[in-house]
Structure 1
Amino acid sequence: MSVDPVGTAVGMAFGELFLLVKEVVQTVAVFHDQLKKIESTLDSIVPIMKDIDEFNRRMDRKDMGQIQALINNGKDLVKKCSNIKALNLYKKYMHSKKLTDFDATLAREFQISMPLLSVRNTAEILGEVKEFREEFRVYHSGQANNGALQSGLGASGNLTVPEAPDFIVGSEVEASLRKLKGRLLEEGVSMIVVTAPGGCGKTTLITKLCHDVDIEGKFNNNIMFIRVSKKLNLMDIVQKMMQHKNFPVPTIETEDRAVHYLQQLLERIGQNPVLLVLDDVWSESKSILDKFVFKKIKDYKIVVTSRYEFPDVSFVHHLNPLNNVEALELFHRSVTVDGRSMVVPDDLLKQVVNRCKGLPLALTVVAKSLRGKDPSFWQTKLLDWSEGRTLLGSDSDILDCLRKSLDDLDGDPSIKERFMDLSSFPEDRKIPATALIDMWVELYNLDFNGLRAVTDLHKLIYRNLADLEVTRRDLTDDDDKSYSSHYAMQHDLLRELAIIECNQGEVEKRERLILDLTGNNFPDWWSEQKQPTLSARLVSISTDGTFSTPWPNLQLPEAEALVLNFETNIQTKTYCLPIFIEKANKLKALIVTNYSFFPAELGNFHVIGFNLRRIRLERVTVPLLSMGKLRLHNLRKISFFMCDISKASTLNDAKISDAMPNLVELDIDYCNDLVTLPDGICEIKPLKKLSITNCHNFSALPEQIGQSASLEVVRLNSCTNLSQLPDSIGALQKLISLNISDCLNLNTLPNQIGQLVNLKRMSMRGCPRLSVLPRSIVKLRNLRNVVCDKEKEVMWWPLKSSLNGLNIIVSEEEASLDWLRD
């Protein structure tokens, strides 16, 4: 409803606040539900504000200056909230506290004023205000969004647009940007398809378009960028869209229900322009693509990129390869090392460039494979390319061109090996660097911390054979060697090329076995009757939501790493590990990833073998305590990511320290059901690294933590409910690094922290309640680096004279969850 003007200053201020809330609630998704409550509360007060003159006469006030100032403060606060990023935990916390204080003050004022109006029921209004305040408190404690992902990630920017490249070659690209921009800014066209062969730069073009100042100005925070890939899952996409916009995420069992929820979502946010980008849509998904269109919703635009044409779409834009001049420019940029031009004859350079067919992906990959090489090496490559070409599919030209560039990678065969290993993960999915580390350390006997593995990953990135995204640059990451914010991605064509390389030769003799199953359609060679014995050291099996057990048997006597990628059946939401794991006696690394929206029950956990050294589980339900019955005596590292792990165990005598007595590293990330650790963890004597991060309900380390005498690294960052550390932490004499950043409720450090005589690094940014350091801190003679916020720097400066070599690093970093946009 509209607010009739009220003649008093208080009434005018109230009207401005009301209108501001109505405006902000339409544009700021982070506080949408809460602001609607405020709007409702203010709406109920409107009649009272019309009688404000009567208030003034009865209270002998001319302008009720105290209440007016309070309302003005409320306006300022709502304006500030409209500019807060959804993922800035620190600012969200601080402004939530200010909102609560404002709310309490407002309540007190109206408790005095409103009883003077006998026609109003003060209790009801205060009840509304109290309910609003409680909802704000619940939201900021990580319980919002109907328990989506059960990890407090409802406000995550998982569909945000990728970073735009700084440089794009080609007049064709500039013309395309102008044309597409015009279409998006005009009325009428609801769907635009950008089509071109693989490797032409469709995704790069659209990313650049989404970051255009005019496009961002029109669509604001309603641009959603979704990587689709070959298997378009409408239910999953709609759930991610609802999560991205901070709405409750329901279980969606059919496409019809998904369409219903999608329409509801668009109607709620569609009062402002909406841009939906569907990147890399395959021709098989055309029928599903039509379900995204709702022509009655004004200013709702869809941009599709695809290698395929959709002739019945009203506007299709063809992106052409680069012309000769543009191709030479891009090649020059990619082949140049440190600004130094290559000494290669022009005719030789042009022949190589012509071979790349004007495709940006081929140009950059080939150029980087030739960096620093003698012209004779270039001649050899041209001869290889001229020896004929094997047809490798619809994108055969670029695939053949790329395949030739892999033949000699600086004389280091390991680069090609790592390149092919990336195909173990599904198309268009971000690959956690921690998963690659777990796989490569065991396959290639690398260092435990994975430094060499990360170096190998950077070699792939240097050659454009993969992309790297670092979602959060923690100033302590390099020292701690966590790499938890590092993700790799592989272009679809490069993944296709890697799979082609993996599939050379007879299946029984392949080093890698990469299987992507649809339903229960197993390859002919894999059946209960044949059951061949395979030589593969790396095995990857991906299944979709229509897959159902039982698994056929598989003989994997040489397998050392097994990657299982799956989506759950919408009815059962369970996934059973294959029984054949039990007989894979050389298996050392197991990576299990659920790509469905909600966690899945993991069955058959008992089949996990004795020789396993590393386990990584993502989005599964597997009680930590239930592992006590296992015998994982060789296990060195176990990781849980977005898992449910705290369900009670029925095993009264099962001790996790007996199950994994040689565990060195325990990683628990975004497991929001975790409240505390089982005491048995503290009895694992070799444990060196304990990482419990982004677990928003985790409230306390066990007092027995002092028994973990081997601990060198403890990470507790972003455990927002953690209020204190146990006194026994002082017994960790080998502790080198402690990270408590973004522990919003941590209000004190134990005095025993001064006993950490070997502590060298401490990160404590984003700890607003931690205002005093214990006196014993002066005993930390080996402390070298402290990372903190600007306002906490003053606590540490007096210690520089006592702690020689102390380096105070002021951090301005903001939290980011952009890695979830896959």
Structure 2
Amino acid sequence: MSVDVVGTAVGTAFGELFSLVKEVVRTVVVFRDELVKIASTLDSIVPIMEDINELNKRLDRKDLGQIQALINDGTDLVRKCSKIKAFNWYKRYTHSKKLTEFDAKLAREFQLSVPLMGVRNTVEILGEVMELREEFREYRSSQANDGALQSGLGASGNLVVPEAPDFIIGSELEASLRKIKGQLLEEGVSVIVVTAPGGCGKTTLLAKLCHDMDIKGKFNNNIMFIRVSKKLNLTDIVQKMIQHKNFRVPTIETEDLAVHYLQQLLEKIGQNPVLLVLDDVWTESKSFLDKFVFKKIKDYKIVVTSRYEFPDVSFVHHLNPLNNGEALELFRRSVTVDNRSMVVPDDDLVEQVVNRCKGLPLALTVVAKSLQGKDRSFWETKLLDWSEGRSLLRSDTDILDCLRKSLDDLDGDSSIKERFMDLSSFPEDRKIPATALIDMWVELYKLDFNGIRAVSDLHKLVYRNLADLVITRRDLSDDEDRSYSSHYVMQHDLLRDLAIMDCKQGEVEKRKRLFLDLTGNNFPDWWSEQKQPTLGARLVSISTDGTFSTPWPNLQLPEAEALVLNFETNSQTKTYALPEFIEKADKLKALIVTNYSFFLAELHNFHVIGSNLRRMRLERVTVPLLSMGKLRLHNLQKISFFMCDIGRASTSNDAKISDAMPNLVELDIDYCNDLVTLPDGICEIKPLRKLSITNCHNFSELPEQIGQSAALEVVRLNSCTDLSLLPDSIGTLQKLISLIISDCLNLSALPHQIGQLVNLKRINMKGCLRLSELPRSIVKLRNLRKVVCDKEKEVLWGPLKSSLNALNIIVSEEEEANLDWLRD
């Protein structure tokens, strides 16, 4: 992205610093690591600087004072560093620290002093321009409604490069890295296809490559990692790419229009090198690949991973399995626990097992975990089982056969296999919210309300390489308060295929799980018949694409306890109706509804939800919170809204949400940008113990009636950037244990009544940059055990340690100060 912010003093200074850092990174080796970090921070700031430039033009202002001074200081510092010789160890040490400090200060300053955007469009003016907030509030709301503000971390998935392992095993992989890297560092346009069977490590290889310093140095923030999979949607992918680059997202109705917008985007950002990774492209998608090729763009690279070959592509790289020695090394690493050597059977038995896996990393790691800690007889039994099947792994089917036999006995704990099978309720190549799994498992398996056992089961799957855990944003309070809102699960395609194959065994009426993936209105034969079978499935998952249209056929689900609805809408309708057959599912306890389209969808047919429902999670839908007062969800204990539009006024004058959900224990609202305040009726729900409102950038106040919620134990308000005050009535929450207000950038004071929170144990106020003093009553918090804050706020709490003896002050690390969360 170009630095097109000249014309203002701060814009000119920023452009000069930006260009200087880029030049010094290329020519000076001494401070390269520090300068690459600064360059990355500056890249993140470019869109904000463009907004500053536009706002300055409107306001007829020339600079931004403190920001401009900081940029000037940074320019001087980088110039000095460029002249320091490699052998001057003292100056190298001192100036390395100065560069690191400047990078952290730059990020912090932009968090505090510039117009903040909830994905660069939610504008908030802090400090001297506070009086303009009302002028921009309408602008923010209009931007929020078009869906462009929605986070890329949820259902839609963002396009950042996945994490890569610290090490890779195999000369083949290392040689592949060098070969493909060389192609990418050359100038010009090229398409590279990396092909291999499933489970060979194609995605891992590309993730490792994209994290390479030379590749990042060349492509900077123009690396986009797109998971394509079999069920692709070109318009959705193009919209995500536009969002990823922080531009306003248009409505795209046809593939031809999507190609037009894609070309516009690439031409706009293609002034700098662009790297596009298309992961898991199927052979049916060859025409789809052609739509991404634009030869006019100067230095534009496309890397494709696929199980199939594309013979007309100029550069095809075949990724081979590991050789025998490398396979043994990976297997031995995987069969150990916490890097401690374990007693394993003799080398001959190990080699027999490794030979069964034919050098495929996925098979090696999964099989190793299944044998971990087992005695020799168990290993021998497994080899006998495998010998009854195929002798070679030549196809995906053979790999699945090998994996299936390794999963037959998971430490004698059938629950692990059950959880593994449940993951396939969600679409391929999507991040599965851990909170959705927790809700499902708590009800299906009658676990504890907070999901502690469910999280333990999830970690068992991750430990066995049966799933990957992705944490998008670390928060010190997540584990303590059982939030897990930033935890996502991903599963390898082959493992998902394995679970689905097992779930489809036997007659449909007797299956424990029913997974339906519908294209258009093509229903299975048994469903389209006039006489509907009565199904015994306890878990039901139905996925529909944008061509599906209602009405739904009838479905008999008398035993269903969890229902997962995954859907996409087309650009014309943007609506979705809950199936009428839900009304007769009397045992339904958990309902998870996820819209995988780019824009929000209006949700209808809420009346079909029965009163036995205990947990409901809604994602990327429009459903006014107040309108839910007309429902009768008398057993509902937890409801979650993620990236929803819930703030519209109710059309009913007498519907009270406290009457609809009288037993609600937990309310989670995340990334709901239209929410300004809570309905008063929420505060009348007596059992409510946990209230979580996070990343809602227009949320400006808790109602004064919050003091009526006497059962509240956790109040979580992090990243609510418009929140300026907490109501005085919060002091009446005698059971409150945890208060999280991290990254509430505009919060300027804590209520004087906070000292009345006699049971408060934890406060997280990291990132509360405008909060400059504490009320005197804070000394009354005798049970306060932990405070998380920034370095500069430590001085506020330090003097209290003498009176609050158990207080532990945890200072947030400087390197955590960054702008990444603004992209949500």
Shared fold per TM-score greater than 0.5: yes
* Residues 604, 98 of structure 1: alpha-carbon distance in 2 compared, 3 angstrom cutoff: closer
Q: Deviation at 1:143?
A: 6.5
Alpha-carbon offset, residue 152 of structure 1:
6.3
The counterpart of 1:149, out of the listed 147, 150, 158, is 147
Q: Cα deviation per residue 1:670-699 (whole Å; 9 max; x = unaligned)?
A: 000000000000000000000001100001
Change (3 A) 1:17 1:742: closer
Separation of aligned partners in 1, 2:562 and 2:539: 5
Alignment of 1:596-635 (within 5 A): 596-635=597-636
Aligned mates of 1:799, 1:648 — CA distance in 2: 44
Give the alignment of 1:556-705 within 5 angstroms. 556-705=557-706
| 2:795 counterpart of 1:794 | yes
Change (3 A) 1:158 1:24: farther
Change (3 A) 1:17 1:426: closer
Preserved contact between residue 235 and residue 258 of structure 2 (Cα < 8 Å): yes
Change (3 A) 1:477 1:290: same
User: How far does the alpha carbon of each residue in 1:229-248 deviate from its partner, in whole angstroms, 9 at most, with x for none?
Assistant: 11121111111111111111
Aligned residue for 1:767? Answer: 768
| Deviations 1:515-567 (CA, angstroms, capped at 9, x unpaired) | 11111111111115131110000000011111111111000000000000011
Q: State how 1:412-491 maps to structure 2 within 5 Å.
A: 412-491=413-492
Q: For residue 477 of structure 1, report the CA deviation from its aligned partner.
A: 1.5
Q: Deviation at 1:647?
A: 1.1
- Structure 2 contact 280–307 (Cα < 8 Å) conserved: yes
What amino acid maps onto 2:214 in structure 1?
D
The offset of 1:479, in angstroms, is 1.2
SS of the residue corresponding to residue 317 of structure 2 reads strand
Aligned to 1:746: 747
The secondary structure found in structure 1 opposite 2:758 is coil
Aligned-pair distance for 1:348?
1.1
Amino acid at match of 2:490: M
- Secondary structure, in 3 states, of the residue corresponding to 1:480? coil
Seen in structure 2, the aligned counterparts of structure 1 residues 588 and 86 have a Cα distance that, compared at 3 Å, is: farther
Cα distance in 1 between the residues matched to 2:403 and 2:821: 30
Alignment partner of 1:96 is 2:114 = yes
Q: Deviations over 1:71-115 (max 9, x none)?
A: 77664579999999999985433241799xxxxxxxxxxxxxxxx
**2:531 match:** 530
**Counterpart check, 1:319 vs 2:319:** yes
Distance 2:705 2:65 in 1: 54
Partners in 1 of 2:601 and 2:76 — Cα distance? 41
In the other structure, the counterpart of 1:192 is 192
* Change over 3 Å in CA distance of 1:143–1:224 after alignment to 2: farther
Aligned partner of 1:214 in structure 2 is 214
Distance in 1 of aligned mates of 2:51 and 2:700 = 31
The aligned residue for residue 31 of structure 1 is 46
Q: Supply the AA of the counterpart residue of 1:614.
A: R
Residue segments in structure 1 that go unaligned for 5+ positions in a row: 1-10, 50-65, 100-129
Report how far residue 408 of structure 1 moved: 0.4
Q: Distance in 1 between the 2:812 and 2:10 partners?
A: 38
Secondary structure of 1:602's aligned partner: strand
How is 1:294-333 mapped onto 2 (pairs within 5 angstroms)? 294-333=294-333
Q: CA deviation at 1:724?
A: 0.4
Instruction: Give the Å deviation of 1:153.
Output: 4.6
Q: Structure 2 length as normaliser, TM-score?
A: 0.86
Residue pair 1:149, 1:599 contacting (<8 A) in 2 also: yes
Aligned residue type for 2:172: E
Aligned AA for 1:573? K
Distance 1:176 1:329 in 2: 19
Q: Following the alignment from structure 1 to structure 2, what is the Cα–Cα distance between the partners of residues 262 and 326?
A: 42
Shift of 1:343: 2.9
What is the alpha-carbon distance in structure 1 between the residues aligned to residue 500 and residue 738 of structure 2? 41
Aligned equivalents of 1:625, 1:146: Cα separation in 2: 19
CA–CA separation in structure 1 for the residues paired with 2:386 and 2:514 = 28
| SS of residue paired to 1:667 | strand
Residue in structure 1 matched with residue 27 of structure 2 by the alignment: none
Distance 2:711 2:610 in 1: 26
Q: Deviations over 1:636-671 (max 9, x none)?
A: 000000000011111100000000000000000000
Relative distance call for 1:33 and 1:806 in structure 2 (3 A) is closer
Determine helix, strand or coil for the equivalent of 1:31.
Answer: helix
Q: Is the 8 A contact 1:145 1:154 kept in 2?
A: no
Whether contact under 8 Å (2:767, 2:789) holds in the other structure is yes
Letter aligned with residue 311 of structure 2: P
Q: Aligned partners of 2:701, 2:233: CA distance in 1, in Å?
A: 39
**For residues 570 and 67 of structure 1, what CA distance do their matches in structure 2 show?**
41
Does the 8 A contact of 1:146 with 1:248 survive in 2? no
CA distance in 2, matches of 1:602, 1:498: 30
Contact 1:487 1:819 in 2 (8 A): no
- Residues 204-243 of structure 1: matches in 2 within 5 Å? 204-243=204-243
Q: Which moved more, 1:804-813 or 1:19-28?
A: 19-28
The corresponding residue for 1:266 is: 266
The secondary structure found in structure 2 opposite 1:455 is helix
- The alpha-carbon deviation at position 146 of structure 1 amounts to 7.1
Partner of 1:554: 555
- C-alpha deviation, 1:397, in angstroms: 1.4
Distance 1:135 1:76, change over 3 A: farther
Distance 1:96 1:793, change over 3 A: same
The number of residue pairs the alignment matches comes to 762
Output the CA distance in 2 between the equivalents of 1:731 and 1:451.
29
Check 1:33–1:340 CA distance in 2 against 1; reply closer, same or farther (3 A cut): closer
Deviations 1:335-381 (A, max 9, x none): 12242133312111111101111100000000010001001100000
| C-alpha contact 1:517 1:543 (8 A) present in aligned 2 | yes
When structure 1 is superposed on structure 2, of 24-33 and 327-336 the one drifting more is: 24-33
Q: Name the amino acid aligned to 1:606.
A: H
* Counterparts in 2 of 1:721 and 1:517: CA distance versus 1, 3 Å: same
Where does 1:160-175 land on structure 2 (aligned, <5 Å)? 160-175=160-175
TM-superposed deviation, 1:314: 1.1
Alpha-carbon offset, residue 185 of structure 1: 1.1
Please state how far the C-alpha of 1:570 moved relative to its aligned partner: 1.6
Counterpart CA distance in 2 for 1:779 and 1:523 is 65
Aligned equivalents of 1:552, 1:616: Cα separation in 2: 24
What whole-Å deviation, never above 9, does each CA across 1:722-741 have from its counterpart, x for those lacking one?
A: 00011110110000100011
**Within 2, Cα distance between the matches of 1:764 and 1:440?**
32
Deviations, residues 277-296 of structure 1 (Å, cap 9, x unaligned): 01111112111110000011
- Check conservation: 1:709, 1:733, Cα contact below 8 A: yes
- Which residues of 2 match residues 384-423 of structure 1 at below 5 A? 384-389=385-390, 394-423=395-424
Query: Which residue does 2:275 correspond to in 1?
Result: 275
Q: What is the aligned partner in structure 2 of residue 256 from structure 1? A: 256
Separation in structure 2 between the aligned mates of residue 33 and residue 794 of structure 1, nearest angstrom: 31
Q: Secondary structure at the match of 2:359?
A: coil
Residues 27-63 of structure 1 deviation map (CA, whole Å, 9 limit, x = unaligned): 8364337438749989xx9xxx9xxxxxxxxxxxxxx
5 Å-filtered alignment, 1:337-352, equals 337-338=337-338, 339-352=340-353
- What letter corresponds to residue 196 of structure 2 in structure 1? A
Structure 2 CA distance for aligned equivalents of residues 714 and 529 of structure 1: 51
Aligned to 2:3: none
Q: Which has the larger radius of gyration?
A: 1
TM-score between the two structures when normalised by the length of structure 1: 0.87
Are the aligned partners of 2:235 and 2:255 in contact in 1 as well (CA < 8 Å)? yes
Whole-angstrom distance in 1 between the partners of 2:15 and 2:358: 60
Q: Determine the structure 2 residue equivalent to 1:159.
A: 159
Equivalence for 2:715:
714
For structure 1, which segment, 28-37 or 271-280, has the greater mean C-alpha deviation from structure 2 after superposition?
28-37
Q: In the alignment, what sits opposite 2:91? A: none
SS at match of 2:602: strand
Separation (CA, whole Å) in 1 of partners of 2:249 and 2:105: 18
Cα distance in structure 2, aligned partners of 1:152 and 1:321? 40
- 3-state secondary structure, aligned to 1:514: strand
1: CA distance, partners of 2:64 / 2:435: 55
Whole-angstrom CA distance in 1 between matches of 2:66 and 2:545: 59
Tell me if structure 2 keeps the 8 A contact 1:192–1:313: yes
